[in-house]
Chain A
Amino acid sequence: MKKYTGKILLIAAAALLSLYFLWPTYRDYSLRKTLSTLHGQDSVQFVENHENDIKEYRAKRIKLGLDLQGGMRVVLEVDVLKLIEDLAKNRDDVFAQVMKEVREESRKTDTSPVLLLRKKFEARQIRMSRYYRNLRDTNDDIYKFLSDETTKAIDRGMEIVRNRVDQYGVSEPSIQKLGSNRIIVDLPGVTREAEVRTLLQGTALLEFKLLKEPEIMYRVMESIDKLLAASNVTDSTDTSATAAMPDSTGDTTKIATAEGEVSPEVFAKKHPFFSLAIVNAQQFPGEAVVAEENKEKVRRILDRDDVKRILPADMQLIWSAKGRVLGNGKRYFTLYPVKSTPELTGGVVTSAQATLDQSYNQPIVRMEMNSEGSHDWARITGANINKRIAIVLDNAVFSAPVVRNKITGGSSMIEGMDNIEEARLLEIVLKAGALPAPVEIVEQRSVGPSLGEDSIRSGIISSTLATVLTVLFMLVYYRSGGGVADIALIFCLLFVLAVLAAFQGTLTLPGIAGLILTLAVAVDANVLIYERIREELSLGKTIRAAIDAGYTKAFTAIFDSNVTTFITGVILFQFGSGPVQGFALTLMIGIVASLFCAMIISRVILNVMIEKYGARVSFG
């Protein structure tokens, strides 16, 4: 027994680790099961009480693919052709003809449209600088410029899509880049196609909106607060909200309401709105901040008809696109009170560039406008010095800089970003208005929840049945040896699921098929070993020697055959998409896990058994 202590400890550690990784999946399942038994007020109460648990376990559980939980996958492609057409100046008949040819040809080949364009122009001996950038630029420069713009367009597209999806309020959306010009958007639980289409495909709208005076905002918010306090129908939002009060803004209460110190609970009762939306004239002049966990509640309040009526007709409350982390380590979103009518729309922006300011080493964004825009911009900035103008993309505020002076000539400089990433984001946003990233939907899949449920059910039935049959067969055919293989098999399944959970893998329906196949592959390794052991036994070896020889001699065959399956798994993962990748993933994890289980776990168990029971261990 002692010789195997190391290995036994290793196995125990692996098993414990697996259980640790699978715990959130189990908790998530049981929480949801409890939730499904509750109704109405009880379920709301339950969600509020377990909010953090639900969030945490949800984030760490084994993710189910869209084919199992229902939802939509949309693949968007940046329309490079449209982009290069939009970027061209002095477009004429020749250009139109070239574009037409490029368009036709790009349908047939994989060559990038930019390269095709270049070839077409070079064949005609026309310098590309006739249509792009400066006349002095060489074709190489312009080729590089266009390729860069294509790359930037996809980033811009991603940002626009992310911004919209965030506002749409989907839980656990996933937005990924695919190849050089595609974006995959996964929206679990969403099936309203038409809505999502318009959401993702519409042209981005960039607006410059003036912030309302702080006093007006305070007055409006006070009315909302009073309304909520008076109408006792605040759907229990006020009961759990108190915990959200950040210490650093504890003085908020006095400024906003001119009241003395009160306990958070009492305050929340009296001021249901201000306990969620924090106003603080010193720290956040002219805006309100809301902790991330309260954002949904505030959104719900602002959606109420009676609350909407309080808002002046020319005033909107718009959320910041990104949250920021304040002193107490929590993330907060900002609510900006802005004038409903935009001062300018993004079409006037001709370029934007994030750089580091040479003299102060601060990140800044330079923005240029066309002549028409410059004219308006001078008037607007001149009339609103020391006021703030919000930069709004698709109804989310990305920045709200203060106007320092009248800007004539259309060239503005925006400063006050914390880091260069923030400046880059603003650059992307400003460009989105001027040069939209034209995207088209090239693939769209949606699975309704009932098909997902059916699939899960058949997945559970078939994997259970397959496990039972395999386990029984091994027991009957190989007796105690088979029993050991069965134990190793259970470990193997445990490991596969744990690895999936640990690496945030996604379980899809083909993935379940992969899991079932893993079962078969896992016992195969044991079959090869046991057949070998039987062979060695029939040569007259002792059981101990036969086991050793069996494991050693079967190893090369097991290893080689698993490598070949693994290779196909890798290739499949590379070429496949979505659910099929899920299959490849479980198959690969399964192969590694089954090797470990067959070569190490079953061997240790067998050796320990031999020490205890000697020749009574049977291989059938």
Chain B
Amino acid sequence: MRFFGKTNIDFMGQRKIWYTVSASVILLGMVSLAIKGFDYGIDFLGGTELIVRFQEPVTIGDLRAAMDKIGFGKAEIKSFGSPRDILIQTVEQGEGSTIAERIRGGLTERFPQNQFSVLREDKIGPKVGTELRRNAVYAVMASLIAIGIYVGFRFKFIYGVGAVVALFHDVLVTLGLVSICDGMLNLELNQSMVAAFLTLVGLSMNDTVVIFDRIRENQKIFRNMPLQELMNKSLNETLSRTIITSGTVFVVLIVLLMFGGEVNRGFAFALTIGITTGTYSSIYIASAMALEWSLRGKAQAKLID
């Protein structure tokens, strides 16, 4: 079975259109980021988070009233997968577990007939929250740099730059979409979301490397072919595997998104977006960047091994 026969698409010829598309998506995401920001999870904010399971479904309004009464009017309240499971998050810091106890007390008072059990309870000190946030940024930066160095070392320097620009693109697009969609999908930026970002950085590289590998190989065979043509040839030759490798990961991620449970949802969502944009960016960003460089700088000769 085959999805693609021999294709002959002029990928590089259309690259300017796609620059616009990428730029608009990123811009949209950045606007959303600037206006509403992220829904940070407890990991990064510090504070107390409770997930409780009621016997009977409850409404968010009732819960809000209960929280207002005990002085946590600013607490974030949302359902966690089902109307019986509720997540309550407050940034308030208190000695010991008093915040959690007050919340539990408030819930018992408001819903005396509807018993609940605590599914999860997290308390993060302000210092730890700041640290985790900083570590997350370091981790993403470190992985971008490490990958840039590796690719620059295995291929030509400019390919490393192209790859890293593509990764930045993927991270920005995903960040933006997470910010746009977090209300609809109950997403929050937490540690496992950061894990998703790092993983998408790794996975997005897979496609890029496969394409670069083919360009490198073709450069040895077709020594006099112009780079744009050579890239198009390489991209067409690898198109089938690019789609299929990304496709299998995509299917697996969709399964995870749908059946992986509430805890894994944000992770799966970010990765699903990431793998899609990663596939696209290997073609229209990573390869295109290397091409731009060689066209502008007339450095084409240097790109050939």
A binds B: yes
Could you tell me which A residues sit within 8 Å of B by CB distance? 67, 75, 77, 107, 191, 193-194, 197, 440-448, 450-451, 454-455, 457-459, 461-462, 465-466, 469-470, 473, 476-479, 509-510, 512-513, 516-517, 519-521, 523-524, 527-528, 531, 535, 553, 556-557, 560-569, 571-572, 574-577, 579-580, 583-584, 587, 620
Complex A-B: 17 CB contacts under 8 Å: A444-B97, A445-B120, A448-B119, A458-B260, A462-B255, A465-B255, A470-B248, A517-B199, A517-B253, A524-B248, A560-B150, A564-B147, A572-B199, A575-B136, A575-B139, A576-B191, A580-B195
B244 touches A469 (CB 8 A): no
B261 touches A458 (CB 8 A): yes
A560 touches B267 (CB 8 A): no
* Closest A residue, CB atoms, query B210: A557
Contacts of B127 in A (CB 8 A): 77, 107, 442
Taken together as a complex, chains A and B put the C-alpha atoms of A339 and B78 apart, in Å, by 56
Q: Is B60 interfacial (CB 8 A cutoff)?
A: no
Within 8 A of A (CB), among B41-79: 51, 53
Known: A477-B244, A513-B267, A524-B206. A445 touches B147 (CB 8 A): no
Contacts of A579 in B (CB 8 A): 191-192
A510 touches B264 (CB 8 A): yes
Taken together as a complex, chains A and B put the C-alpha atoms of A266 and B244 apart, in Å, by 73
Q: Is B37 interfacial (CB 8 A cutoff)?
A: no
Known: A513-B260, A563-B150. A444 touches B123 (CB 8 A): yes
Contacts of B154 in A (CB 8 A): 560
Contacts of A584 in B (CB 8 A): 195
B51 touches A451 (CB 8 A): yes
How many whole Å from A439's CB to the nearest CB in chain B? 12
A561 touches B97 (CB 8 A): no
The residue from A191, A455, A519, A563 contacting B261, defined by CB atoms under 8 A apart: A455
Give the bracket for the number of chain B residues in contact with chain A. Answer: 35 or more
Q: Is B203 interfacial (CB 8 A cutoff)?
A: yes
Taken together as a complex, chains A and B put the C-alpha atoms of A400 and B255 apart, in Å, by 61
Top 4 A-B pairs, shortest CB-CB distance? A458-B261, A565-B202, A568-B202, A575-B139
Contacts of A576 in B (CB 8 A): 135, 139, 191, 194-195
How many whole Å from B275's CB to the nearest CB in chain A? 9
Q: Is B143 interfacial (CB 8 A cutoff)?
A: yes
Q: Is B228 interfacial (CB 8 A cutoff)?
A: no
How many whole Å from B269's CB to the nearest CB in chain A? 12
The residue from A516, A521, A572 contacting B139, defined by CB atoms under 8 A apart: A572
Taken together as a complex, chains A and B put the C-alpha atoms of A455 and B237 apart, in Å, by 42
Taken together as a complex, chains A and B put the C-alpha atoms of A520 and B214 apart, in Å, by 22
Contacts of A67 in B (CB 8 A): 263
The residue from A513, A528, A566 contacting B241, defined by CB atoms under 8 A apart: A528
Within 8 A of A (CB), among B162-197: 191-192, 194-195
* Closest A residue, CB atoms, query B241: A531
Taken together as a complex, chains A and B put the C-alpha atoms of A444 and B156 apart, in Å, by 47
State the main secondary structure of chain B at its contact with A: helix
B210 touches A528 (CB 8 A): yes
* Closest B residue, CB atoms, query A454: B261
A462 touches B259 (CB 8 A): yes
Contacts of A457 in B (CB 8 A): 261
* Closest A residue, CB atoms, query B53: A450
How many whole Å from A558's CB to the nearest CB in chain B? 8
Contacts of A191 in B (CB 8 A): 118
B260 touches A459 (CB 8 A): yes
B17-57 CB contact bits vs A (8 Å, 1 = yes)? 00000000000000000000000000000000001010000
The residue from B120, B128, B210 contacting A446, defined by CB atoms under 8 A apart: B120
Q: Is B100 interfacial (CB 8 A cutoff)?
A: yes
Taken together as a complex, chains A and B put the C-alpha atoms of A18 and B97 apart, in Å, by 44
A451 touches B267 (CB 8 A): no
* Closest A residue, CB atoms, query B192: A510
A442 touches B128 (CB 8 A): yes
**Residue of B2, B194, B261 with most chain A CB atoms under a 10 A cut-off:** B261
How many whole Å from B304's CB to the nearest CB in chain A? 17
Contacts of B100 in A (CB 8 A): 193
B90-128 CB contact bits vs A (8 Å, 1 = yes)? 000000110011000000000000000111111111011
A517 touches B252 (CB 8 A): yes
Q: Is B142 interfacial (CB 8 A cutoff)?
A: yes
* Closest A residue, CB atoms, query B205: A564
Q: Is B221 interfacial (CB 8 A cutoff)?
A: no
A461 touches B142 (CB 8 A): no
**Residue of B97, B136, B151, B237 with most chain A CB atoms under a 10 A cut-off:** B97
**Residue of A67, A197, A462, A553 with most chain B CB atoms under a 10 A cut-off:** A462
B246-283 CB contact bits vs A (8 Å, 1 = yes)? 00110111011011110110011001000000000000
Q: Is B198 interfacial (CB 8 A cutoff)?
A: yes
How many whole Å from A507's CB to the nearest CB in chain B? 14
How many whole Å from B217's CB to the nearest CB in chain A? 8
How many whole Å from B116's CB to the nearest CB in chain A? 11
A447 touches B248 (CB 8 A): no
How many whole Å from A560's CB to the nearest CB in chain B? 4
Contacts of B210 in A (CB 8 A): 528, 557, 561
Contacts of B122 in A (CB 8 A): 444-446
A575 touches B192 (CB 8 A): no
* Closest A residue, CB atoms, query B193: A580
The residue from B117, B119, B213 contacting A447, defined by CB atoms under 8 A apart: B119
B2 touches A620 (CB 8 A): yes
Taking A469-B252, A516-B256 as known contacts, 6 extra A-B pairs with beta carbons closer than 8 A to each other, sorted by chain A number, are: A191-B118, A446-B121, A448-B118, A450-B53, A462-B260, A560-B209
Contacts of B261 in A (CB 8 A): 454-455, 457-459, 462, 509
B127-167 CB contact bits vs A (8 Å, 1 = yes)? 11000100110110011001100110010000000000000
Q: Is B301 interfacial (CB 8 A cutoff)?
A: no
Contacts of A566 in B (CB 8 A): 202
A470 touches B205 (CB 8 A): no
* Closest A residue, CB atoms, query B246: A524
Q: Is B201 interfacial (CB 8 A cutoff)?
A: yes
A527 touches B147 (CB 8 A): no
B256 touches A462 (CB 8 A): yes
The residue from A446, A519, A560 contacting B213, defined by CB atoms under 8 A apart: A560
Contacts of B245 in A (CB 8 A): 524, 527-528
The residue from B119, B253, B259 contacting A461, defined by CB atoms under 8 A apart: B259
The residue from B119, B121, B135 contacting A445, defined by CB atoms under 8 A apart: B121
Taken together as a complex, chains A and B put the C-alpha atoms of A67 and B120 apart, in Å, by 9
B191 touches A448 (CB 8 A): no
* Closest B residue, CB atoms, query A519: B252
B255 touches A466 (CB 8 A): yes
How many whole Å from A202's CB to the nearest CB in chain B? 12
A561 touches B205 (CB 8 A): yes
A448 touches B120 (CB 8 A): yes
A557 touches B209 (CB 8 A): yes
B252 touches A520 (CB 8 A): yes
Known: A462-B260, A476-B1, A531-B244. A567 touches B146 (CB 8 A): yes
Taken together as a complex, chains A and B put the C-alpha atoms of A261 and B255 apart, in Å, by 69
Taken together as a complex, chains A and B put the C-alpha atoms of A458 and B255 apart, in Å, by 11
Contacts of A523 in B (CB 8 A): 248
Contacts of B128 in A (CB 8 A): 75, 442-443
